[in-house]
Amino acid sequence: MAADPNWARWAFASVATAMKQLAVAAPIPALVEGLDERTTAYMQSPERVEIRISGPFTRRLSMEKQCDYHELAVDINLLFTSRYEINANQYDILKTVGQFHTALDSPIAMLRLGDQPGDDGSLVGCLLPRTGRNDAVRVFHFGQTDQTDRQKQVMIDARYVAYIP
């Protein structure tokens, strides 16, 4: 059996929902690339996070009809921006980054989310943090990216895999 045409939508919606929930809890304004608009309020926030989701990258692991099995890989990239002229304590953004980093070390439920037939919110599978040699949840500090705007950026990169029968 080929990949399910709904997997891309369900993976994207599940990750976007999970990341937005983290942003609300943090609290930090969040934008999901390809889903949300860059409003003036968002762009002028003293701190903000941009969420990018890639995948799923699929691979069929078995060719037998009675045991059809797929591997789905999803990558999550979070770009945090903090403006120097507004935030007196530049460690504040790192506290928020730490909250996301901790959460990204855990599985993310891939649910049947949406408004299409069959989108009942049930579990498709679990997106698990990949455990390969180069698959750690990684935090990159870019520091001050623009002298004019006086802002600094930090990025978290996380990679996930799910096995779907």
Architecture of the structural domain at 7-164:
2-Layer Sandwich (3.30)
Burial of 125 (0-12, 13-18, 19+ CB in 10 A): buried
pLDDT given for residue 5 in this prediction: 93
pLDDT band, very low/low/confident/very high, at 21 (cuts 50, 70, 90) = very high
The answer to whether residue 79 scores a pLDDT higher than 90 is yes
Contact yes or no for 53/76 (Cβ under 8 A): yes
pLDDT given for residue 145 in this prediction: 81
- CA-wise closest residue to 157 among 79, 95, 50, 82: 79
Contact yes or no for 151/81 (Cβ under 8 A): yes
- Domain borders along the chain are 7-164
Q: Which pTM value belongs to this model?
A: 0.92
Which carries the bigger pLDDT value, residue 50 or residue 146?
A: 50
pLDDT band, very low/low/confident/very high, at 130 (cuts 50, 70, 90) = very high
